[in-house]
C-alpha cells in the first residue's frame, strides 16, 4: 500500500459507513393492516382511506403527510407508505389514521391513536370501529 494512502484509509472507511447509513435511512417504510371486528362484507363501492398524519398541533386539524385510498375493501386491508425521512420533523408526533366510507358517509374509523415510531420496522395493526347510526 502506498504511504500517502494509509492516513486516508480511516477517512474513506468512515465516509463509506456514513453514506450507507444515509442511504438506508433516507426512506421510512410505514406498513401494516387495517381491520374491523364485524363479520360482514362491505359493499363494492366502500372506500378505505389510510393516512400518515402530523398530529403535533393541539386544537388543529392533522396535517396529512401521505394518503392511501382504495375500494374493494375486505378485512384485513394491507397498507404501505414509503416516505422520505426529511418529511418528518424532529419533535413532531405522527399517527396513522384510517376510515371506511360508503357514498361519502363514514362507516368505520379508528378510535384510538396509532403512533408511528420512525425507527421501527414492525407492521402496524389498525383497528377501525363501526360508527353508530
Which pLDDT belongs to residue 111?
95
Examine residue 13 and state whether it is found in any structural domain, yes or no.
Answer: no
Which pLDDT belongs to residue 5?
43
Please state the rounded mean pLDDT for residues 124-128: 96
Examine residue 19 and state whether it is found in any structural domain, yes or no.
Answer: no
Which pLDDT belongs to residue 16?
42
Examine residue 63 and state whether it is found in any structural domain, yes or no.
Answer: yes
Q: What is the pLDDT of residues 34-77, one digit of tens each?
A: 999 998 889 999 999 999 999 999 888 999 999 999 988 888 99
Examine residue 2 and state whether it is found in any structural domain, yes or no.
Answer: no
The domain of 32 spans 27-130
Examine residue 99 and state whether it is found in any structural domain, yes or no.
Answer: yes
Examine residue 11 and state whether it is found in any structural domain, yes or no.
Answer: no
* Total domains, the chain: 1
Which pLDDT belongs to residue 39?
87
Supply the CATH number for residue 46's domain.
2.60.40.2990
DSSP letters along the chain, please? Answer: --TTTGGGHHHHHHHHHHHHHHHHTSEEEEEEEEE-SS--PPPTTEEEEEEEEE--STTSPPEEEEEEEESS--SSEEEEEEEEGGGSPTT--EEEEEEEEETTEEEEE--S-EE--TT--PPEEEE-EEPP-
Examine residue 14 and state whether it is found in any structural domain, yes or no.
Answer: no
Q: Select the more confidently predicted residue: 106 or 11.
A: 106
Examine residue 119 and state whether it is found in any structural domain, yes or no.
Answer: yes
Q: What is the pLDDT of residues 26-36, one digit of tens each?
A: 899 999 999 99
Amino acid at each position: 500500500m502506498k504511504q500517502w494512502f494509509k492516513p486516508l484509509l480511516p477517512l474513506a472507511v468512515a465516509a463509506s459507513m456514513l453514506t450507507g447509513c444515509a442511504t438506508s435511512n433516507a426512506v421510512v417504510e410505514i406498513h401494516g393492516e387495517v381491520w374491523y371486528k364485524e363479520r360482514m362484507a362491505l359493499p363494492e363501492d366502500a372506500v378505505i382511506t389510510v393516512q400518515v398524519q402530523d398530529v403535533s398541533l393541539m386544537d388543529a386539524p392533522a396535517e396529512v403527510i401521505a394518503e392511501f385510498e382504495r375500494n374493494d375493501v375486505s378485512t384485513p386491508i394491507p397498507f404501505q407508505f414509503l416516505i422520505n425521512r426529511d418529511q418528518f420533523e424532529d419533535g413532531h408526533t405522527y399517527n396513522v389514521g384510517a376510515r371506511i366510507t360508503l357514498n361519502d358517509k363514514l362507516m368505520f374509523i379508528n378510535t384510538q391513536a396509532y403512533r408511528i415510531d420512525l425507527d421501527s420496522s414492525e407492521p402496524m395493526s389498525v383497528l377501525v370501529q363501526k360508527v353508530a347510526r
